[in-house]
A = this chain, B = another copy of it.
Amino acid sequence: MTLPRSPLAPEHFPDLPMIKGARFAAAAAGVKYQGRTDVMLAVLDPGSVMAGVFTRSATRSSNVLDCQAKIGADSDAGAAIIVNSGNSNAFTGKAGDGSVAAICQAVAEATGLPETRVFTSSTGVIGERLPHDRITGKVGELVATLDETALKPAAEAIMTTDTFPKGASAAVEIDGQTVNIAGFAKGSGMVAPDMATMLVYIFTDAKVARADLQALVSGINARSFNCITVDSDTSTSDTLLMAATGASGVDVTGHDAFAKAMEAVFLDLAHQVVRDGEGASKFVTINVTGAANDADARTHALAIANSPLVKTAIAGEDPNWGRIVMAIGKSGAAADRDLLSIRFGDVLVAESGWVADSYREEDGAALMKEQEIDITVDLGLGQGCSTVWTCDLTHQYISINADYRS
């Protein structure tokens, strides 16, 4: 099954800057796919610090559990990240733990790093034993071909049914010196019986303490990757790792400009994941304001974003605000029918418990024909707000997930 490139894809992969102290390589190990790369290795110089966030799934993969056990430790030894596509090594029992250990050992031997500094991710089919020998057999080749410029090949090697590779970067001037941030992500394509997974790797040459980097990653992740949804289903493999090599020599501690640049990269990649959502034909921004608090706003926003009836209405270019009312009503968070208002783009659609006097169906219908759709709901209750990004639910989603068999 070959999927067409998403209509929401960017025109081309961006030119990513080199990140001093970080080198990349990709190889074709034949884990599952033939005729393409499927393993990427990133090696970070000594002095690099690592931070990460991971799926909270109770059935997360061996790789995720291993990363979580390692991520909080300080080390001056450098680090490596090795990622394969084609097999998620999730729900593979004790054998899955063994696969992770074998890969870490092979990378440690080839790089001279301690095993505790090797981080792994796997993405693809669930429940099938990972043929890790194919990966360990390629580690020598990967280490031999490490290159500071190879971010795009690395981004391509981690794709499963993504229809385009996803990269983003930002540069920030601090004390007259340039700090670079660059990263790549995969998500959320699928070949049955795989499931949507998201893997994200971001690199910077900034100098920053590990705890500070982790705080930035956790905070920005909550406003970016944790605010996207394609189909409400959570992967057992979701992983975001960020490495700061310090090789620029620029200490970014306390510099807001750095945090802002990081957030721009996170958001760019998060939006690209939505743009490659299975079967997506519309990129949808859900803004909720005026909620009793931020948590309620997020609950409402996710209820709207995940509602099959809202998502199919958007696919059908139907300005069906009744389904948004329904989603708000069912979310469980506070709402008052007579206080809430709904806008499509700038068009006021509903207020005071009913359709707005000024609303004309043809205005709503015209907006729904756009490829990018903004829906704003104000609850009229307080100051809570939240933004969530999602896509529509189309026949192609059913085709990808039901019609094609593994």
Near B by CB (< 8 A), chain A positions 375-406 give 393-395, 397-399, 401-406
Q: Contacting chain B: which of A177-185, A205-213, A229-237?
A: A229-237
Q: Which chain B positions have C-beta within 8 A of A397?
A: 308, 312, 398
With A308-B397, A398-B393: A58-B326 Cβ-Cβ less than 8 Å: no
Chain A interface: which size bin? 35 or more
Count the copies.
Answer: 2
Expressed in whole angstroms, the minimum distance between the Cβ of A393 and any Cβ of chain B is 7
- A401 and B355 within 8 A (CB): no
Expressed in whole angstroms, the minimum distance between the Cβ of A352 and any Cβ of chain B is 6
- A93 and B338 within 8 A (CB): yes
Q: Which residue of B lies closest to A406 (CB)?
A: B318
- A232 and B307 within 8 A (CB): yes
Q: Which listed residue (B318, B325, B352) contacts A126, Cβ 8 A?
A: B325
A318–B307 CA distance with the chains assembled, in angstroms: 24
- B394 and A337 within 8 A (CB): no
Q: Which chain B positions have C-beta within 8 A of A59?
A: 325-326, 328-329, 335, 337, 340
Q: Which chain B positions have C-beta within 8 A of A232?
A: 306-308
Q: Which residue of B lies closest to A400 (CB)?
A: B312
A126–B320 CA distance with the chains assembled, in angstroms: 9
A95: Cβ under 8 A from any B Cβ? yes
Ordered by A's residue number, 11 sampled pairs between the chains whose C-beta atoms are within 8 Å are A58-B334, A93-B354, A126-B323, A190-B309, A195-B326, A232-B308, A308-B308, A308-B393, A313-B401, A394-B398, A394-B402
With A59-B328, A354-B91: A195-B322 Cβ-Cβ less than 8 Å: yes
A1–B352 CA distance with the chains assembled, in angstroms: 33
By Cβ-Cβ distance, the 6 closest A-B pairs, closest first, are: A126-B322, A59-B329, A57-B329, A93-B354, A234-B330, A316-B402
- A350 and B91 within 8 A (CB): yes
Expressed in whole angstroms, the minimum distance between the Cβ of A330 and any Cβ of chain B is 4
- A326 and B126 within 8 A (CB): yes
Q: Which chain B positions have C-beta within 8 A of A399?
A: 395
A94: Cβ under 8 A from any B Cβ? yes
Expressed in whole angstroms, the minimum distance between the Cβ of A256 and any Cβ of chain B is 34
- A125 and B322 within 8 A (CB): yes
Q: Which listed residue (B58, B193, B313, B353) contacts A328, Cβ 8 A?
A: B58
Q: Which listed residue (B94, B193, B307, B329) contacts A60, Cβ 8 A?
A: B329
A40: Cβ under 8 A from any B Cβ? no
A192: Cβ under 8 A from any B Cβ? yes
Given contacts A91-B350, A308-B393, 10 further A-B contacts (CB under 8 A): A58-B331, A91-B354, A92-B353, A96-B354, A125-B322, A127-B350, A195-B309, A195-B323, A316-B402, A394-B402
A28: Cβ under 8 A from any B Cβ? no
Q: Which residue of B lies closest to A232 (CB)?
A: B308
Q: Which chain B positions have C-beta within 8 A of A353?
A: 91-94, 96
- B315 and A398 within 8 A (CB): yes
Q: Which chain B positions have C-beta within 8 A of A398?
A: 312, 315, 393-395, 397-398
Q: Which chain B positions have C-beta within 8 A of A346?
A: none
A337–B234 CA distance with the chains assembled, in angstroms: 15
Q: Which chain B positions have C-beta within 8 A of A274?
A: none
Q: Which residue of B lies closest to A309 (CB)?
A: B233
